[in-house]
Amino acid sequence: MTFVVVIPARYSSTRLPAKPLLDIGGKPMVQRVWEQANLSAAARVIVATDDQRVADVVEGFGGEVCMTSPTHESGTDRLQEVAEQCDFDDAQIIVNVQGDEPLIPPAVIDQVALNLAGSARAEMATLAKPIHTMADLLNPNVVKVVVDSSLHALYFSRAPIPWDRDAWHSRDALDEQGAVGGDWARHIGIYAYRVGFLHRFVTWPMGRLEQLEKLEQLRALEQGVAIHVDESCVEIPGGVDTQEDLDRVRRLLAGQQ
């Protein structure tokens, strides 16, 4: 089994302009992500961007670039264009590593690719980790996932699913500072796809569930696609969405060095 990593890296960002090029310990963020991806077992690592400034930087440190349309609404659309431009076979596995994950562990990149390769049913694979606090469980920005007995997703939601009917009979019972047990899982946004699935996915209209929850993976579930979900083999540090996130990652890297 071989797989390819694609790193979508948009220049525009409302909260952090020029995000892929922000300096982290003397290197642009996109280079940090690319270096982590190259520590995985990927046969190839491609940065997909719609901006020549990002492309120039990536080529400057020796990375491979695929220029993609600036009109894509999602990273999945951008991945599909890369697959098309590179003429990948339908069975080829692509792992989508977000361009704002400079601390992504190579082990989870390998894990999600291997999980998809080993699943006869799934056309996508992703990861999750246990939720330990009520604050995370109630946070709509923390996406929850429920899986079946064969580790395939039943549903993703911003709501606290599954709902503990007996324990949470009223809002007063929800102590945001409290701990929760092992019945809830947080979705981690790393995906492996088969190329044939990507080509079909971009032809499907946005479904009602995706419109409501603003979760792209629900489009696949609405179409009956099996999504393999496993607990991540190592802890995954958060990505960079805000200035606070950027400061945190800079501190972490400075401490490691």
CA atoms within 13 A on the CB side of 84: 14
Is the link from the previous residue into 162 a cis peptide, with omega within 30 of 0?
yes
What tokens were used for 220?
């696949």
Domains, the chain: 3-248 (3.90.550.10)
pLDDT greater than 90 at residue 241: no
Cβ–Cβ contacts within 10 Å for residue 164, how many? 15
Q: Tens digit of pLDDT for each residue in 190-219?
A: 999 999 999 999 999 999 999 999 999 999
Q: Tens digit of pLDDT for each residue in 151-197?
A: 999 999 999 999 988 877 766 666 666 677 778 999 999 999 999 99
Angle (CA) 160-161-165 rounded to 5° is: 90
Can you tell me the mean pLDDT for 56-82?
Answer: 93
